Amino acid sequence: MFSAETIRRNWFSNIRADVLAGIVVALALIPEAIGFSIIAGVDPRVGVYASVVIAIVISFAGGRPAMISAATAATAVLFGALVREHGLQYLLAATILAGVIQIVAGWLRVGAIMRFVSRSVMTGFVNALAILIFMAQLPELIGVTWETYVLIAAGLAIIYLFPRLTRAVPSPLVCILALTGLALALGIDIRTVADLGELPDVLPVLLFPDVPLNLETLWIILPTSIAVAAVGLLESLLTASIVDQMTETDSNKNRESIGQGIANIASGFFGGMAGCAMIGQSVINVKSGGRTRLSTLTAGAFLLFLLMVLGDLVGFIPMPALVAIMIMVSIGTFRWSSLADLLRHPRRSSLVMLATVTTVVGTHNLALGVGVGVLLSGIFFAWKVAQIFRVTSTLSEDGAHRRYCIEGQIFFASAEDFLAAFDFAEKLQRVTIDVGRAHIWDLTGVNAVDMAVLKFRKAGTEAEVVGLNDASATIMDKLAMHDRPNAMEKVLGH
């Protein structure tokens, strides 16, 4: 795991591009960190310190190289009520507890939940984030001077045209330097980073939250910590999957969960709020050439350097430069092919994608949007599987024995069709229910088999179930009631 080759590949295989990409990310992190602090209702330095600490720690502890984690809106919005009612110290305590929960989740291999997120949900998540990233720029696009629009247009031109000249330097970095120089040289009265709030100029200090260590404190912070941990992990794991696709590499989702927890604990002890992976900054990093952990470390370390050494110069960066970069991220993040896919893909898949987008954009709640998408995917899948179900029957020559052959899946969505396939009023001596081509999945399926057998027996017909596969036999042996004493009363109720 820590061989020289592994260290070289994860840290030093792409040094120049990683360092330059990290610098771009660090510059773009500043306004967002300040903005997220405002959302949480705390001093700007809380968000900035969080971004520094989380980015540095996650570069070592995370499971996805080149992914950027810092303070985010998704977690910041969850702290508002706690800060208003109890203050900053409880935010720090909740951040530490959220980190502990994430570590436990990683140990429990929560990364496995990603297999339940369908491609349609993933596409909806990405498109929704692209829309939210663009919407976040609207305050810098509405009611501003004409010079602002000119600078944004110039920034976009640099971002998209400069790579045709050379890719030695990331075009977003050129955009920041060029527009800053232009604004200063021409003395353009434009909104700058300094207008967002005062940047910290001292190093974060290791501290322990000043809260009572008792159960009352735990009950105060626990709901917020659980919500922050869940939302943070969800966004981090989804972002990791997106970066996996962009870089055509794999990542360790369980290690990422543990790494996010460690980073948040460190953030809380250094006076920062909880954070998680940032899809916008991660896209900037990857598109700027970042590929290894060095890019993430550079982002955090250079952000600290900017604050401590170049804070006054950073304040001169015009907001149009950063807005142009985020518009580029929004355009690059959106899956434009998904619009054409709406006509080509199955309607249910398109509905899942649109529902995910609509919910996320409408509520600004990533977890709720993904939850709706996963729920719809599950419902549509269950409905589709339930349709792959058939019951045929044959009657013996003497008319005394009927054999029902079941094909398909017997579970909660098909149990009603299963029972409807039997004629319990038919006068027979014996019935055989052959499930050799079927699979019984859950308690509802077991109960449906019990109901069928007992209804036949109640009508005076001998009934038996044959052909159970190993898995079905196991669940039937454990849960089935039809061969147990008093089964008629327990299952049929009389």
How confident is the model over 269-284, as a mean pLDDT?
A: 89
How confident is the model over 294-315, as a mean pLDDT?
A: 86
Round the average pLDDT of the chain to a whole number and report it.
Answer: 87
- pLDDT exceeds 70 at position 75: yes
pLDDT of residue 446: 93
Give the other-Cβ count within 10 Å of 354's Cβ: 17
User: Among candidates 128, 418, 90, 107, which has minimal Cα distance to 273?
Assistant: 90
How confident is the model over 449-455, as a mean pLDDT?
A: 92
Distance of CA 223 to the CA centre of its chain: 19
Sheet with strand 389-395: strands edge to edge: 389-395, 401-410, 430-440, 462-466
What pLDDT band is residue 314 in, cutting at 50, 70 and 90?
Answer: confident
User: Among candidates 422, 485, 414, 421, which has minimal Cα distance to 446?
Assistant: 414
How confident is the model over 39-44, as a mean pLDDT?
A: 77
In this predicted model, what pLDDT tens digit does every residue of 218-231 receive, in sequence order?
A: 999 999 999 889 88
pLDDT of residue 455: 92
pLDDT of residue 1: 52
- pLDDT exceeds 90 at position 80: no
pLDDT of residue 111: 72
Alpha-carbon span 320 to 141, nearest angstrom: 9
Instruction: Select, from the ranges 233-247, 290-304, 360-374, the one with the highest average predicted confidence (pLDDT).
Output: 290-304
How confident is the model over 340-366, as a mean pLDDT?
A: 87
pLDDT of residue 256: 92
> What are residue 318's DSSP bridge partners?
192
In this predicted model, what pLDDT tens digit does every residue of 101-150 receive, in sequence order?
A: 999 999 988 777 777 778 888 888 888 878 887 887 888 888 888 989 99
How confident is the model over 91-101, as a mean pLDDT?
A: 95
pLDDT of residue 212: 92
| Backbone φ, ψ for residue 149 (5° rounding) | -65, -35
- The position carrying tokens 């977690």 is 75
pLDDT of residue 172: 82
| More confident call, 264 vs 44 | 264
- pLDDT exceeds 70 at position 494: no
User: Among candidates 177, 130, 136, which has minimal Cα distance to 321?
Assistant: 177
- pLDDT exceeds 90 at position 490: no
In this predicted model, what pLDDT tens digit does every residue of 378-401 receive, in sequence order?
A: 888 888 888 888 999 999 988 899
**Which range has the worst mean pLDDT, 96-100, 183-187, 312-316, 441-445?**
312-316
E strands, 294-400, in order: 389-395
Percent of the chain with pLDDT over 70: 97
Residue 456 in 3-state DSSP? Answer: helix
pLDDT of residue 392: 93
pLDDT of residue 448: 93
How confident is the model over 50-62, as a mean pLDDT?
A: 94
- pLDDT exceeds 70 at position 90: yes
How confident is the model over 19-44, as a mean pLDDT?
A: 81
